[in-house]
Structure 1
Amino acid sequence: MEINVNKKDWIFFGLCLLLGILAEESFFRGIIGVSFLVFIIAFYAVFFWRFRHFPFSHQRFGYLLVICIWLLSAVYVLNENILFYVLNIIGIPALVLFHLVAVTSPKNFRWNQLAFILYIFTRLLNAIKYNVAFTASLGKLVKRGADDNNLQVWKKVLIGVVISVPVLAVILRLLMSADSQFAQLVGGVPDLFQMVDPEGIMRLIVVFLCMGIFFGVMQVLYKKQMMVMKQNDQRVSVILDTVISITVLFLINIVYVLFIIVQFRYFFGGSLQGDYTYAEYARKGFFELLFVTLINLSITIVVISLGDSGKAGIKKIRQVLLTILVLSSGVLLTSAFKRLSMYEEAYGFSFTRVLSHSFMIFLIVIFTYTLVKIWVEKLSLFHFYFLTALIYYTTINVIDLDRIVVKENINRYEETGKIDVDYLSSLSATGVLGLIELYERGENIPHLETILRDQQLAARTEQQTWQSYNLKRERTSQKLNELQFK
């Protein structure tokens, strides 16, 4: 690959080097906080400068992605949750790459097709090739005006030095161990090998690696559009047999109808069979129902996507059976939702339980759209699923589910006098704020003061850096330092 580097490319190369330094400072210096948002702001400033004259495509979708990326980055400053902390480290870069490729792809190339994933990997491969070619061009630039024979000699000398250094290090250690006089003679030589800072070298490698990723990807995306893969608008070659799919749907629906009849007889009616309490029954069946619901969704998607339309009568039968399956899934979701609510009444609220509640609401939205898709075939499933999942994930990050957990547990304490202070203390800074609120109200809760004393000591000894700054942690630390124990 031959490349021509102009003045703007060199300026952009310098900016990518600065981005690489900022990335190393932001993500490899401890706990991530405001540094993520700072880096995203700097990254998009460089991106929009480089692409200021570029005709973007899929702009409305691009705006949605940018908003979600910035909100998720801001979560590192506003909230504190270990699950989202880890997920966003992977999710935000993936969304950024998806956004860059989407808005720079040809306008007639749809992002909601499977071929778009292959297109992304093709662009990444081209970025690697571009970096290799760019490095080769730098080598040619260095060679220009120099004598080839001298260059070859110095190259061989450098290779010899690189090979000799580790061998000499081992030999010197062995000889010094064998003879003390020789050890005194060259005693200072091994110290020369310790002058190199391994951590500094690793950080330098990270800087150049990040710089290469930023420079290669954005340079490739900025160049003229590559020829994209042909999109086949025809239906997938794998077609489900109509009779088989209808038979499977019919048998599954019979089981669900019988199950729903049982549910309406005693569960929704307010009575239970056997010796189960509400909490025991809820715990026993919640995950099973949720898993069955996901299986139903998978079956529905497969039949809709791969099923043969067939004749009008057969098509209607399949649509009716799919409708029954979706409605049955809705009843199962309602049952699972009610079971989880009963379990929370008995044992209290947790992050996992609140997250499960929100996920079931998300599934209800998905099933509602799928029900419409069964009868309106022109709608796109993946398009809606992706956008809904993106909005859902961003929303549960921003609203801070930990705060909902703390609030509901405090309300439950006011009604029943039961609360798990040990769990709340492990629930990030939000849980500690809830415990401080209870203590300041004068609530007599066992172990509460001990937990807060430990948290206060940890807050006073914790060392903060600018990268890890977080508003919730800062507020909690301030409240703990101001807290006066009885």
Structure 2
Amino acid sequence: MNYKEQTIRSNFKFFGGISILYGLLFAFCMYRNLFGATFLVYAIATVYVLDLFIRKVDLKIKKETKMYYMLIIVCGISTCITSNKPLQFLNWCCVIGLLIVSMLGQFFDKSNWDIPSYVVNSVILFITTIGYSFLSIKETENFIKREERRENKKVSFVIIGVLVALGSLLIILPLLISSDMIFRKVFESLTGWLSFEKMVPNIQTVLGILITALLGFVLIYGFFYACCRVDFSGERQRIVERCHPIIGISFSAVIGVIYLLYSAIQIVYLFFGNAGSLPEGITYSQYAREGFWQLVAVAALNIIIVMLCMYLFEENKYLKILLTIICGCTFVMMASAAYRMYLYVSIYHLTILRLLVFWFLLILALIMGGVIVSIYKKGFQLVRYIILTSVCGYLIFTMARPDYQIAKYNMEHIQDMRAEDLSYMIYGLSLDAAPVIAEKAYDYLSGDDNYNMKGQLYDYFRTIADNNEEIYFRKANYSRIKAKTAADVYIKEHAEDSIYSAYYYGDYEYQ
């Protein structure tokens, strides 16, 4: 048992007590409410508790750890300002990943870690946390037993006093109840509220809250104890020994020649279409849309290939040149894929998947830039660069509220709104898009022949208004509040369109 473990066990009143308080706060924040405003409270509380624990075991908080703390809090903010469920779920995953990475950096020297070391050590820490999850319960039991031995007489006196009081009340209460009518009614209302029949419907809720609180308690204690327990200080052996660079040079040369030819074709036919001639019967728009996903896959695969070559083969200047050529061709492929998607969006407008593609290509380009630097700069922290680039890029993407931006772009670029365009924005996007739809969609529906679309819009905003009547703090969300405000204004301004809505026809048929 090392010093940090001994500190935790000998100070259970501190670590266990704070963990219990954290568990209660975790239940308040997360019980049946994974994506409300309290997600930010949970993120801040987690960072604060870990900070307290680290200082208690006499460790100084590293700058890198503070940076990860900030990213965790930004994830919490991101969850509070969007209603996009997939992005909110990814924020959860991002917080968990950042917690693991931050503690790995806080407790261990990662300067010589490669990608396999990061992956293996992260998995070990995750599994170790699960293994020590119920240690907190055992330590709590031991702590209670120790306290009972110390305070046994005091506890006995308290129990005796309570029993005497209960016996006295058997005589006193009937006298008080019969002496005052108002007291009798108040007492009857209290006992009725506390009756078993009244509490039965809430037993499930009570159990759910208790289980959620217990989960928060055991996880925060087990996670920190695992960080103190595991030992990653030893030098991890390479999974495979480095191979002779001739193998890598031969492989890279063949791949590089093919990529150079492919890149030349992209430059001639796609970027400068007038310079080349396409096969008969194929238009430039067809050529632009063809093969997009294959290009994205190859670009991502190239990053893996280059990193594997750097890991598997001995250092060689000719190998570096060939890997640089592959990287350069990958940039051309990513530019080609982005340009193809741009042409496609200009015709078929923007969707969340198409916007994700642009973001993914940008992140790939930034990662590839880091890979090129790592080829020539020994000691470059490539894994940390990839983590920070991916996380920061993702947070910028979520903070921009992509559904809002998609609706705004489409409203500004669609010339004639069709039913399928409107349906995608009101059914395919989250509530983030509601304010834009409320502000601009009606401009496309001025004609009398658009009554179906008017009815769709009215139903959309009526549903938003009805589903968000009571937004209290736990479930509060900036996106929901904005959508509710926009819906109320829209319903008031376009009340005459209620005759086209499903609500109206439903009421009419019922009558």
Q: Sort the TM-score into its range (normalised by shorter chain).
A: 0.7 to 0.9
Matched, 1:468 2:475: yes
| Whole-Å separation in 1 of the counterparts to 2:151 and 2:376 | 73
* Partner AA of 1:322 in structure 2: L
* Partner AA of 2:438 in structure 1: I
Q: For each residue in 1:267-306, what CA deviation from the matched residue of structure 2 results, as whole angstroms up to 9, or x when unmatched?
A: 2222543433444333321101111111111111100111
Residue 477 of structure 1 is matched in structure 2 by 484
| Structure 1 residue 59, shift from structure 2 partner | 1.7
| Whole-Å separation in 1 of the counterparts to 2:242 and 2:258 | 26
Change (3 A) 1:282 1:251: same
Correspondence 1:126-275 to 2 at 5 A? 127-128=132-133, 130-131=135-136, 133-135=138-140, 137-138=142-143, 140-141=145-146, 144=149, 197-218=203-224, 221=227, 227-232=231-236, 237-271=240-274, 272-275=278-281
Match of 1:276 among 275, 282, 286: 282
Higher helix share: 2
Residue 302 of structure 2 is matched in structure 1 by 296
| Structure 1 residue 382, shift from structure 2 partner | 1.4
Aligned-residue Cα RMSD (Å) equals 3.5
* Kept in 2: contact 1:34–1:467 (CA 8 A): yes
- What's the TM-score, normalizing by structure 2? 0.75
Segment drifting more, 361-370 vs 25-34: 25-34
Q: For each residue in 1:134-193, what CA deviation from the matched residue of structure 2 results, as whole angstroms up to 9, or x when unmatched?
A: 15524744885999xxxxxxxxxxxxxxxxxxxxxxxxxxxxxxxxxxxxxxxxxxx9xx
* Partner AA of 1:437 in structure 2: E
| Structure 1 residue 29, shift from structure 2 partner | 2.1
| Whole-Å separation in 2 of the counterparts to 1:11 and 1:350 | 50
| Structure 1 residue 23, shift from structure 2 partner | 1.8
| Structure 1 residue 231, shift from structure 2 partner | 2.0
Change (3 A) 1:138 1:109: farther
* Kept in 1: contact 2:248–2:313 (CA 8 A): yes
Match of 2:87 among 84, 95, 113: 84
| Whole-Å separation in 1 of the counterparts to 2:104 and 2:379 | 26
| Structure 1 residue 92, shift from structure 2 partner | 1.2
Segment drifting more, 290-299 vs 368-377: 368-377
How many residues were matched structurally?
A: 433
Q: For each residue in 1:7-51, what CA deviation from the matched residue of structure 2 results, as whole angstroms up to 9, or x when unmatched?
A: 963254333223222222322224621010122233334343444
Segment drifting more, 382-391 vs 277-286: 277-286
| Structure 1 residue 65, shift from structure 2 partner | 0.7
Match of 1:287 among 265, 280, 293: 293
Segment drifting more, 122-131 vs 250-259: 122-131
Correspondence 1:327-342 to 2 at 5 A? 327-342=328-343
Segment drifting more, 457-466 vs 281-290: 457-466
| Whole-Å separation in 2 of the counterparts to 1:67 and 1:13 | 25
Match of 2:72 among 60, 69, 72: 69
Runs of 5+ unmatched residues, structure 2: 153-196, 497-511
* SS across alignment from 2:414: helix
| Whole-Å separation in 2 of the counterparts to 1:474 and 1:146 | 52
Change (3 A) 1:401 1:142: same
| Whole-Å separation in 2 of the counterparts to 1:195 and 1:58 | 47
| Whole-Å separation in 2 of the counterparts to 1:146 and 1:71 | 46
Segment drifting more, 278-287 vs 429-438: 278-287
| Structure 1 residue 443, shift from structure 2 partner | 5.1
Residue 371 of structure 2 is matched in structure 1 by 370
- What's the TM-score, normalizing by structure 1? 0.78
Residue 181 of structure 1 is matched in structure 2 by none
Taking CA–CA contacts closer than 8 Å with sequence separation of 6 or more, which of the two structures ends up with the larger relative contact order? 1
| Whole-Å separation in 1 of the counterparts to 2:58 and 2:446 | 64
Segment drifting more, 70-79 vs 263-272: 263-272
| Whole-Å separation in 2 of the counterparts to 1:477 and 1:353 | 28
* SS across alignment from 2:291: helix
* Partner AA of 1:468 in structure 2: K
Change (3 A) 1:405 1:240: farther
* Partner AA of 1:95 in structure 2: L
| Whole-Å separation in 2 of the counterparts to 1:358 and 1:290 | 12
| Whole-Å separation in 1 of the counterparts to 2:136 and 2:51 | 21
| Whole-Å separation in 2 of the counterparts to 1:91 and 1:247 | 39
| Whole-Å separation in 2 of the counterparts to 1:44 and 1:374 | 35
Residue 97 of structure 2 is matched in structure 1 by 94
Residue 186 of structure 1 is matched in structure 2 by none
Q: For each residue in 1:59-109, what CA deviation from the matched residue of structure 2 results, as whole angstroms up to 9, or x when unmatched?
A: 221122111111110112222222211112222133224324532x14687
* SS across alignment from 2:234: coil
* Partner AA of 1:231 in structure 2: E
Residue 345 of structure 2 is matched in structure 1 by 344
Change (3 A) 1:124 1:251: same
* Kept in 2: contact 1:241–1:308 (CA 8 A): yes
* Kept in 2: contact 1:21–1:207 (CA 8 A): yes
| Structure 1 residue 262, shift from structure 2 partner | 2.4
Matched, 1:428 2:433: no
Change (3 A) 1:48 1:404: same
* Partner AA of 1:435 in structure 2: I
| Whole-Å separation in 2 of the counterparts to 1:94 and 1:74 | 17
| Structure 1 residue 466, shift from structure 2 partner | 2.6
| Whole-Å separation in 2 of the counterparts to 1:66 and 1:145 | 40
Change (3 A) 1:35 1:279: farther
| Whole-Å separation in 2 of the counterparts to 1:346 and 1:58 | 52
Segment drifting more, 388-397 vs 263-272: 263-272
Change (3 A) 1:145 1:235: closer
